[in-house]
Amino acid sequence: MITHLSSPVTVNWGITARCNFVCSHCFSRLDPSEELSPGEALRVVDVLAEHSVMFLNYGTGEPLLRRDLFPLTEYAAGRGLKVTMNSNGSLIDAAAARRIREAGFHSVGISIDSATPAVHDAFRRMPGSFEKAVRAARLLREAGIPLTVSSVICKVNHRDFAALVSLAKELGAHTIDLHNFKCSGMGGLNKEALDLSPDEWRRFYEAAVPMRDAEKGIDIAFDDPILSLLGAEEKGRLVAGSVCGKLSLYIKPNGEITPCGFIPVTIGHILRDDFGEVWHGSKVLEHLRDKAASGKCSGCAKFSSCLGGCTARAYAAFGTYDAPDPHCWVDD
């Protein structure tokens, strides 16, 4: 099948960089950019709707800190976008859960990084945050909102993911996203303490993939191109390698567009540039869609399916898009 998308399927939008947490791995805490005004935010929705973007996901800071979150979401849902958000859950009480449902959220992701409260609280650097996240998840389900649990796999939890999956099921989540650690922003500064070695990543996936394949009660998602090394690519994968710039884009709080939140390379501005021209004409995106094998990827039989793995990790570690993914466990 020849694939050419008229626009991204998903746009991840950092509607705010503000957050009431100071997590050790946060990619955006070091970004000092201003956020768009409420009127500008509505114009962003117009641009995305006019280009038939299917999913709009709020991430980056804590979305519930934005005062226009609900009217913005009502507007976006009314324009046909499926709106989702990632939240730490700390600001979600019963009233907020009702407002989230009424605003038309398609799904909400709550960050929970360990089934052990003290481990989650230490990772999020916020005492009591586990309890609040679990309470938020329950309130969202009681309000009838589809729930996902979002976890960052790293040193603190890579051996305990099964308990996380059990907790997510018990909370009624339809999906648990086991995100791989990215060494961008604070994640780069804390890489030594938090990131796994390539061999640890191999062992994690060798244990987690069979669970994903056998699990019936919840979808376990990884979204990591390095899964190709195990021949364990996720079902329904339309593109090889990273999805950044192929299926998705990221909009920073100030409106700048980057290929993904973890690749800090500006390729345009959502309100100042033609979004279609950015999507179809960006030289950076062209490069990401047609990566060349370099280093140990040259001659590797897996390159055609992994395309060098995660471009964001390669860029953060080596400063080039084509470098091999530092998580890759294939020998040099």
| Residue 133 backbone class (left: φ over 0; alpha: ψ -120 to 50; beta: rest) | alpha
CB of 18 or CB of 237, closer to another protein: 237
6 binds another protein (CB under 8 A): yes
One-letter amino acid of 295: G
Q: Helix or strand or coil: residue 260?
A: strand
131 binds another protein (CB under 8 A): no
2 binds another protein (CB under 8 A): yes
Q: Mark out the alpha helices in 12-116 (DSSP H runs).
A: 38-50, 69-78, 94-103
CB of 185 or CB of 245, closer to another protein: 245
Yes or no: say if 112 and 72 are a contact pair by the CB < 8 Å rule.
no
Q: For residue 235, how many C-alpha atoms fall within 13 Å in the half-sphere facing its CB? A: 5
82 binds another protein (CB under 8 A): yes
216 binds another protein (CB under 8 A): no
In degrees, to the nearest 5, what angle opens at C-alpha 289 toward C-alphas 106 and 258? 55
Q: Out of 98, 101, 169, 237, name the contact with another protein by CB under 8 A.
A: 237
Q: Copy the structure tokens of residue 313.
A: 């990790």
In degrees, to the nearest 5, what angle opens at C-alpha 223 toward C-alphas 33 and 57? 40
Q: Could you give the C-alpha distances from 160 to 73, 119, 123, 165, in angstroms and in order? A: 35, 11, 14, 9
Q: Out of 131, 219, 233, 273, name the contact with another protein by CB under 8 A.
A: 219
Q: Out of 14, 24, 28, 55, name the contact with another protein by CB under 8 A.
A: 55
43 binds another protein (CB under 8 A): no
Q: Copy the structure tokens of residue 103.
A: 């605003």
CB of 128 or CB of 217, closer to another protein: 217
Stretch that binds another protein, among 3-11, 28-36, 38-46, 186-194 (CB under 8 A): 3-11
CB of 221 to another protein, least distance (A): 6
Yes or no: say if 12 and 251 are a contact pair by the CB < 8 Å rule.
yes
Stretch that binds another protein, among 22-30, 48-56, 135-143, 184-192 (CB under 8 A): 48-56
1 binds another protein (CB under 8 A): yes
3 binds another protein (CB under 8 A): yes
214 binds another protein (CB under 8 A): no
305 binds another protein (CB under 8 A): no
Query: Count of residues binding another protein (CB under 8 A)?
Result: 20
101 binds another protein (CB under 8 A): no
Stretch that binds another protein, among 2-10, 114-122, 158-166, 281-289 (CB under 8 A): 2-10
Q: Out of 116, 175, 294, 305, name the contact with another protein by CB under 8 A.
A: 175
CB of 1 to another protein, least distance (A): 5
DSSP 132-175: HHHHHHHHHHHTT--EEEEEEESTTTTT-HHHHHHHHHHHT-SE
Cα–Cα distance measured from residue 275 to residue 114, given in angstroms and rounded to the nearest whole number: 39
Cα–Cα distance measured from residue 265 to residue 287, given in angstroms and rounded to the nearest whole number: 13
CB of 160 or CB of 234, closer to another protein: 234
CB of 280 to another protein, least distance (A): 9
CA dihedral 201, 120, 117, 147 (to 10 degrees): -90
CB of 216 or CB of 235, closer to another protein: 235
Footprint of another protein on this chain (CB under 8 A)? 1-6, 9, 52, 54-55, 82, 175, 219, 221, 234-238, 247
